[in-house]
Structure 1
Amino acid sequence: MTVTTATDTPESYPQDASQRPIYLDCNATTPMDPRVAAEVAEWMVSEFGNAGSRTHAYGQAAKERVARARREVASVVDARPEDVSFTSGATESNNLAILGLAEYGESVGKRHLICSQIEHKAVLEPFGHLQTRGFEVTTIAPSAGGWVDANAVAEALRPDTLLVSVMAVNNETGVTQPIEAIASELSESEAFFHVDAAQGFGKLIDPLLHKRIDLISVSGHKIYGPKGIGALVMRRRAYKRPPIKPLMFGGGQERGLRPGTLPVGLIAGLGLASDLALREHSDRHEHCKNLQHAALRAFMPLGAVLNGDLERTVSHTLNISMPGVDAEAAIVALKEIAALSNGSACTSQSYEPSHVLTAAGLPASQISGALRFSWSYMTREVEWSQIASRLTALTQTG
C-alpha cells in the first residue's frame, strides 16, 4: 500500500508550499488529505441534498452517505454505527459527554467527577461548570513524564462517582495516557468513562477498542479531515446507551441529541478520513516515526530536554526545551523556515505557562522554553539540521 505524502501530492499543502515554512503544527490542525477534500467537495457541490429529505433521490443519497460515514467512524473503535452521533468537533463532543450526564447524575445522587490535570480546556472547563452546580471534582496529577497513573484514578473512585474523563493523547506533549489500564480498573465501577480522543482517534487503534470506554470524542480536523465536524461515540453497556441529555433543542436529528441540518459534506469527509486512517495506520505511523527519529538526532546533541516520556510519546509529536532558549523567541526565529507552536492552539492568545507542563512539575525555565513540533504522514522531509542551527544560534546570543 502506498501512503500519500506531501512530496507525492504537492497539492495537499497550500499553493507554493515549497516557498512557505514547513508546517510542523499538526496537533493544532492537520492539512486535509486531497482524497478527503475531493469527497467533501462532491457532497457539497454535486450531491447537495438534505439528509432529512425523504421524498426524493437527492435526500436519499445524502442519507445513505451519512449512514456510511457513521459506519466508517464506528469501525475505527469497533463500535456500532448507531453509537455514533455527529457534532461540530471534539469540543462539542466533550461538552455533550460531560454536561449531558449532569441531569442523570443529579437524579441518582452521583455528583463526583474525576479527570486528569492535563486535560484539554474543553474538558476542564465543563468540569468547572459542573462544580458551580454542586458537583465535586477530583483531579489526578501526572507523573514528570506526563502521564497519569491508572492506580491513582482507581483510588479516587467513590460510590458516587458519575464520570471519569482521561484523554487518549495529550495535545501538548504527545504523551499517551494509560486508558486501557484505566478502563480495566473501572470494571467493577458503575462510573462512566469518557476519553477525549481528539489527538488519538485513528492514530492509536488498540487502546480505543476497549469496551469499557463508554464515550469517545472525535475531531475531524485532527485526522486530515475538515474543520467543523466531529463525533461522539456512545457505547452501550448492557444494551443501554449512556443517559446523555441534549444541550440544544429544535429538531430530532442525531436521535434527538443534536438538532440541526446535518452537514453532509463535512460528515462525508470525516467518514472517509476515518476509513483511510484505519486502513493506512501502519504506514502512516512508520513515516512519522522516521521523522521523529531524525528530529531526535538533530536536537539531542544540542542538549535538548524532552518534555514527556519518549516511550509513551506518539510518533508524530515532540515537545522539547532548549537550555537558555525562550519559546516565543525561538518561534520568531524559526518563522521563516518552520511553523510550530509552544502549546495548545486553543490557548495560543494567552502567555500563561502551560497547565500541562506545570502539572507535571517541570521547572519554570523548562516550561518557558517548551516547543511543540508535530507532523503527519503528509509532511515532506524536514530540514531538522537547519532548525537545530537556528536554535543553537539563540543559545549563543541568549
Structure 2
Amino acid sequence: MAVYLDCNATTPVEPEVQELVVRYFSENVGNAGSRTHEFGQQAKNAVQTAREQVASLVAAKPDEVLFTSGATESNNIALLGLTRHGEQTGRQHIVSTAIEHKAVLEPLEVLERRGFEVTLVPPDADGLVPAERVLEAIRSDTLAVSVMHVNNETGVTQPVAEIAAGLEEQHPYLHVDAAQSFGKVVDELKSPRIDLISASSHKVYGPIGVGVLIARRRRYRRPPLEPLIHGGGQERGLRPGTLPTPLIAGFGLAAELAEKNNKARREKCLAIRRQALAALQPLGIRLHGNEERLVPHVLNLSIDGLDSEAVMLSLKGLAAVSNGSACTSTSYEPSHVLQAMGLSDNEVQGAIRFSWCHLTPDVDWAAIRNTISGLQ
C-alpha cells in the first residue's frame, strides 16, 4: 500500500479526535442553538470548550473565535467582509502577495471588480516575500494587508511576525491565512497585531468541513466585518447556520493536542526530512524554497529532465505525492507560486511536493529514490 505523503492537502485525523467526533455523531446528539433541553446545552458546552481550545493555541479570546466551514470561507469573510467599511472610509487598497492561495487571490479579484486596487508583492527567488517590501507597499488608503503564514506549495514560512511588528499602530487590518501553519508554527500567530487569522481543521489532524476565523479586537473594537450569507445569527451574525457540533468538538481537541505536542511532532517531522534528503539528494534534486525558513514537513523539488506527471505515475502504489495545490488539481495549471519565484518552465513542470506529518508511517525513501532514478 502506498504511503501518504500529501499532508499539505489534508492530514490524517488524530485517533483521539476521531473517537470524539464519532461519539458526538452517535451519542451526544444536540443542536448548540437549542436552549430548552439538556442535549442542546451539552452541544453548546462542547462548542464553547472548542472555542477555548482554539483560542488558546494563538493567545486569542474565546469570543474572538468564529467557526466556519474551513479556511477558504474564513478568507472570504475576512476580505470580502471588509468591503463596505472600505467603501465608507475611502480605503480601497489591499496589499497581498503573488504567492497566496487561490482562496485569497480569487476574493481579491472580486474586490478589484468592485473598484478596489490590489498590490501583489512578489517573492524573492527563494519563495520568501520580504517584510520590508510588504510594508513599503502600504499607503494611506490601504484597508488591509493579507499574507499567508506558510506557503502551501513550497513550505516557506513568510515573515508575518515582522510584518505585524512593522505595522504597529498603522491602520490597515492584518489578515493571515494560517491554513498550513495553524498548530504547527505556533508562536508567531500569537501576535496581538494580527487582526484576522484563517485556519482549517483538516490541516491540523482534525475533521474535514470545519475551520475558524479568529477576529481579534484592537483597542476593544472588533474588525468591522459584515456577513456574506444571512439567516440565523450564529457566530455573531457573521457565519449563520447550524453549528456542526461533532466537527467543532473534534477541531477543538485537535487544536489542544497541537499545542500540547508541538515540539514532539516537529522533531518527528524533522527526522523524516533528514531521511528524505539523504535518500533523494543523489538524484540531483533542486529544492524550491528558502531552506532556513522551510517548515519541517514539506519538500518541493524538481529533478533535471523529469516531468512531475511522469514521477507521480511511477510512484503510484508506492507513495502519494503532489505537484501543486489540491484546490486547483482538477484543472492543472502551472504553479503560480513557482512562476512568481522565477523558476524555469522545466522546473515548474517538474516540481514535486512531498509533505508528511507525525502520523506518517515509516517511508521507504530508498525505494522512492530507486523508482525515480529509473526514469532518468
TM alignment of 1:1-398, pairs within 5 A: 20-395=1-376
Gapped regions of structure 2 (runs ≥ 5):
none
Q: Distance in 2 between matches of 1:93 and 1:370?
A: 29
Shift of 1:34: 1.0
Say which SS state the counterpart of residue 319 (structure 1) adopts. Answer: strand
The list of structure 1 runs, each at least 4 consecutive aligned residues, that deviate by more than 2 angstroms after superposition, is none
* Paired AA for residue 265 in structure 1: P
Q: Distance in 1 between matches of 2:325 and 2:285?
A: 21
Shift of 1:349: 1.8
* Paired AA for residue 192 in structure 1: Y
Shift of 1:376: 0.6
Shift of 1:166: 0.4
Shift of 1:292: 0.4
The sequence identity of aligned pairs, in percent, is 56
Shift of 1:252: 1.2
The alignment's C-alpha RMSD in Å is 0.6
Shift of 1:44: 1.2
Shift of 1:45: 1.1
Shift of 1:321: 0.4
Say which SS state the counterpart of residue 166 (structure 1) adopts. Answer: strand
* Paired AA for residue 80 in structure 1: K
Q: Distance in 2 between matches of 1:86 and 1:351?
A: 31
Shift of 1:391: 1.1
Q: Can you list the C-alpha shifts for 1:65-110, whole angstroms capped at 9, x where unaligned?
A: 1000000000010000000000000000000000000110000000
Q: Distance in 1 between matches of 2:87 and 2:3?
A: 50
Say which SS state the counterpart of residue 216 (structure 1) adopts. Answer: strand
Deviates more, 1:347-356 or 1:325-334: 347-356
Q: Can you list the C-alpha shifts for 1:216-269, whole angstroms capped at 9, x where unaligned?
A: 001010001111000000010000010000001011111111111100000001
Q: Distance in 1 between matches of 2:375 and 2:71?
A: 37
Q: Distance in 1 between matches of 2:245 and 2:169?
A: 40
Say which SS state the counterpart of residue 148 (structure 1) adopts. Answer: coil
Q: Can you list the C-alpha shifts for 1:326-361, whole angstroms capped at 9, x where unaligned?
A: 000000000110001101000112232100000000
* Paired AA for residue 160 in structure 1: D
* Paired AA for residue 16 in structure 2: R
* Paired AA for residue 137 in structure 1: V
Say which SS state the counterpart of residue 105 (structure 1) adopts. Answer: helix
Q: Distance in 1 between matches of 2:315 and 2:291?
A: 24
* Paired AA for residue 71 in structure 2: A
Q: TM-score, normalised by structure 1?
A: 0.94
Gapped regions of structure 1 (runs ≥ 5):
1-19
* Paired AA for residue 156 in structure 2: V
Shift of 1:211: 1.0
Say which SS state the counterpart of residue 250 (structure 2) adopts. Answer: helix
Shift of 1:302: 1.6
Q: Distance in 1 between matches of 2:320 and 2:11?
A: 12
Q: Distance in 1 between matches of 2:306 and 2:279?
A: 16
Say which SS state the counterpart of residue 375 (structure 2) adopts. Answer: helix
